[in-house]
Amino acid sequence: MSEEITGKKSSVILGIGSYVPEKILGNVELSQKVETSDEWIYSRTGISERRIASDKQSTSDLACLAAKKAIRNAGIGVEQIDLVIVATITPDMSFPSTACLLQHKLGLNQVACFDLEAACSGFLYSLDVADSMLSSGRYKCALVIGAEKMSSIMDWEDRTTCVLFGDGAGAAVLSSGGEGPELLGFRSGADGSNPTLLHQPAGGSLKPASPNTIREREHFLKMNGREIFKSAVRVMEKATRELLADHSLDLADISHVIPHQANVRIFESMAQRLEIPMEKFFCNLDRHGNTSAASIPLALDEAMRTGLFKTGEFAVLVAFGAGLTWSATLVRF
């Protein structure tokens, strides 16, 4: 049936896994660091707490722990993996890629590895890319990871951003054959006309590190929350509608929506505009905050472990991120 819908054989998710650091930073504790309160944060975002990696943990460390769980759950050996994609905006270093560092930590063969940077849409972009590479026949088994140490780029003096983000990683093992949830289709896009809505001003070739960029705190994440909110709702609705139209499905055919975990008010606005009950939206935002590229796989892993999905149900995974990027994925369980 998947080939009837998509016109090609679907990639499947053989296994999924996630990892979050042990340290929990709750709103009350955070309010002792910056002028805010539990009520202010929760009422505006739906976030109660977030996980924070230790100083000794890097993004590749988080990715490695999530990847090991996904590989174990897939029931395969590491020698079967022939492609690794890591979605992140907080790499261990500019180069080499976090994927190459992860390859070594996992003891993988000398397979193709690269990072993909599409911010919070990164994991879904990576699924899209991995699915295409698997469908070419040149690759058989892909490890796709979204991993972030967002605490490393937070300005802990800026209450408008530091309250929103957390650290974590989620991973999926994809195969061109086998049993598991099917990736039926994708819709990805971007609008780079206003990059400063959400960005890290310094540290790249445009504005290399200097005493001035450090003094001006330009190596931290900066965001125009109001404009991002409006853009996020619009592009996620657009991507969802286009994705379903591509596969001749109606909104009523969708049993679950796994949205990027950024703000509960975005979920509410999407639900209203799409006329989908809020009960169909999966949310773990309250316990993790916004983990950027790790957000979707963290939520998907948790939803699958709780037995949320029934055989044959359709779900839409949908995200937006800095760029502005957006992506939606259609899954059948």
Residue of 113, 120, 141, 162 marked active site: 120
Integer Cα distance of 233 and 167 in angstroms: 24
Q: What is the DSSP letter of 218?
A: T
Integer Cα distance of 274 and 238 in angstroms: 10
Bin 111: left if φ > 0, else alpha if -120 < ψ < 50, else beta: beta
Residue of 27, 73, 263, 290 marked active site: 290
Residue 273 backbone dihedrals phi, psi, to 5 degrees: -70, -35
Q: What is the DSSP string of 194-206?
A: -GGGEE--SSSSS
Integer Cα distance of 189 and 116 in angstroms: 14
Integer Cα distance of 125 and 148 in angstroms: 15
Residue written as tokens 């679950």? 256
Integer Cα distance of 3 and 276 in angstroms: 27
Residue 130 to residues 43, 183, 201, 213: CA-CA distances in angstroms? 38, 11, 30, 36
The three-state secondary structure class of 63 is: helix
Report which residue type is found at 217.
R
Q: Respond yes or no: is residue 290 known to be catalytic.
A: yes
Integer Cα distance of 167 and 38 in angstroms: 19
Residue of 162, 260, 263, 288 marked active site: 260
Q: Do strands 167-175 and 182-190 pair parallel, antiparallel, or not at all (unpaired)? A: unpaired
Which of 15, 111, 21, 108 shows the shortest CA–CA distance to 58?
21
Q: Do strands 141-149 and 83-87 pair parallel, antiparallel, or not at all (unpaired)? A: parallel
Q: Respond yes or no: is residue 120 known to be catalytic.
A: yes
Catalytic residues: 120, 260, 290
